[in-house]
Amino acid sequence: MDCGTWERRLYDGEPYISGEQPDAEVLTKLNSNENPYPPSAAVLAAIAGFDGGQLRLYPRSDGGTLRAALADLHGVPRERVFVGNGSDEVLALAFRACFGGEGGILFPDITYSFYPVWCDFFGIGFETRPLDGAYRINADDYAGEKRGVVIANPNAPTGIGEGEGFIKKIMEASPGCVVIVDEAYADFSEYSAVPLVDRYPNLLVTRTFSKSRSLAGMRIGYAVGSPRTIEALKAAKDSFNSYPIDSVAIAAGVAALGDSGYYSDRIGELKQTRDLSVEKLSRLGFKVLPSQANFIMVSPPAGSAEGLFLHLREKRIFVRYFAGERLKDFLRITIGTPEQMDALISEAEGYVSGGRSAGT
């Protein structure tokens, strides 16, 4: 085999690009939708008290006690719960398990940008439907589909969430396809589709501990669905890695679920900070999309989104800029502490009041 032959076999797809992870210690990092508050004391105690000697043993391949705790949380049998290494892995396995072969997938043109990456990686055809002029998903675009449907709710990166009527409309009209509802940010919204999994066997809901439970570094994700769909996910997982979630993560996850009061308080604080930040930015003339997530999408009244992004970066405030045509006028800003948001808003006010010209 010559070099040209083996090089042609190397994967050359377009990978997902995550938010920048700067090395500097002194900065305001609002670009990856991480939680600005630490995990609860119960979680830290569980990690500190973990018996390291147990690491010589493989963890429970199904998540063990964490799977059981999640089943109790949602009031469903364990057979309806799947645990994985962050919701990204859970979603990737779901794409492989549910959408392989013919048919393909349908999802919005503006949504979580990992979806087309997985389609490319697994060789799954896909089509997109445009958001409307208010950046909302139109349920009619997905009703009656025989292909797979993937909906992030609240959507990313817009932050706009939809309610039960929206999900039911798609489910009622699409009994012949798997519908995945990606609820990475649902704890910051007013709605979750998890209670509908009993009614619709073709519904799979994915969730994560990264955002609302401050465990992005621990990598815990899960799905709730029909026993048949969960078995398909398990088969896909076991074809790649039988042990995707480690023993320390299981212990931390169980502790997080047991400290619901702490996380409820932190979620309440973040929502309050989010709403106050929206109010302040709106008064400055920013266009702000209505968010039910732990981030907001904003468009400056003067200058450009890219210019503001670069200005904030110079001040060691990191936010997310998407250069695509439909989002080039917006920045996505993770909700931080009140102090972090005040610092950002102060710099944003200085930028727009300084009369920056478009494109600078």
Does 20 lie in the same domain as 77?
A: no
Position 16 pLDDT exceeds 70: no
> Residue 249 belongs to what domain range?
41-258
1 falls within a domain: no
What share of the chain has pLDDT > 90, as a percent?
A: 84
Band of pLDDT at residue 131, cut at 50, 70 and 90: very high
**pLDDT for the residue numbered 143:** 87
Q: Alpha-carbon distance 112 to 151, whole Å? A: 9
User: 88-92, 146-150, 260-264, 343-347: which range is least confident on average?
Assistant: 146-150
**pLDDT for the residue numbered 100:** 72
**pLDDT for the residue numbered 141:** 95
Does 302 lie in the same domain as 242?
A: no
Rounded to an integer, the average pLDDT of 135-140 is 96
236 falls within a domain: yes
Query: Rounded to two decimals, what is the model's pTM?
Result: 0.93
List, in order, residues 6 or more apart from 276 with CB less than 8 Å away: 338, 341
Does 208 lie in the same domain as 309?
A: no
Band of pLDDT at residue 307, cut at 50, 70 and 90: very high
308-342 pLDDT tens trace:
999 999 999 999 999 888 899 999 999 999 999 99
Closest C-alpha to 222, from 37, 114, 68? 68
**pLDDT for the residue numbered 355:** 55
**pLDDT for the residue numbered 262:** 98
156-182: burial string, b at 16+ Cβ within 10 Å, e else? bbbbbbbeeebbeebbeebeebbbbbb
**pLDDT for the residue numbered 145:** 84
Does 270 lie in the same domain as 129?
A: no
Position 2 pLDDT exceeds 60: no
Mean pLDDT over all residues of the chain? 92
Whichever domain contains 166, its CATH number is: 3.40.640.10
Does 225 lie in the same domain as 349?
A: no
Domain limit, last residue, from 226, 258, 290: 258
Return the residue matching tokens 């997530």.
Answer: 293
Does 196 lie in the same domain as 336?
A: no
Does 189 lie in the same domain as 285?
A: no
Rounded to an integer, the average pLDDT of 73-90 is 97
251-278 pLDDT tens trace:
999 999 999 999 999 999 999 999 999 9
241 falls within a domain: yes
Does 232 lie in the same domain as 100?
A: yes
Does 276 lie in the same domain as 252?
A: no
Band of pLDDT at residue 1, cut at 50, 70 and 90: very low
- Contact between residue 148 and residue 179 where contact means Cβ atoms under 8 Å apart: yes
160-187 pLDDT tens trace:
999 999 999 999 999 989 999 999 999 9
**pLDDT for the residue numbered 9:** 61
> DSSP string covering 215-246, please?
-TTT--EEEE--HHHHHHHHHHHHTT-S--S-
The count of structural domains within the chain is 2
Band of pLDDT at residue 14, cut at 50, 70 and 90: confident
- Contact between residue 304 and residue 329 where contact means Cβ atoms under 8 Å apart: yes
296 falls within a domain: yes
Domain limit, last residue, from 258, 289, 316: 258
8 falls within a domain: no
Does 210 lie in the same domain as 291?
A: no
103 falls within a domain: yes
Rounded to an integer, the average pLDDT of 2-9 is 60
5 falls within a domain: no
Whichever domain contains 289, its CATH number is: 3.90.1150.10
Does 251 lie in the same domain as 306?
A: no
248 falls within a domain: yes
Position 359 pLDDT exceeds 50: no
Rounded to an integer, the average pLDDT of 350-358 is 72
Strand partners, 232: none
Domain limit, last residue, from 237, 258, 279: 258
> DSSP string covering 266-287, please?
HHHHHHHHHHHHHHHHHHTT-E
**Cα–Cα–Cα angle for 253, 259, 264, rounded to 5 degrees:** 110
Does 62 lie in the same domain as 143?
A: yes
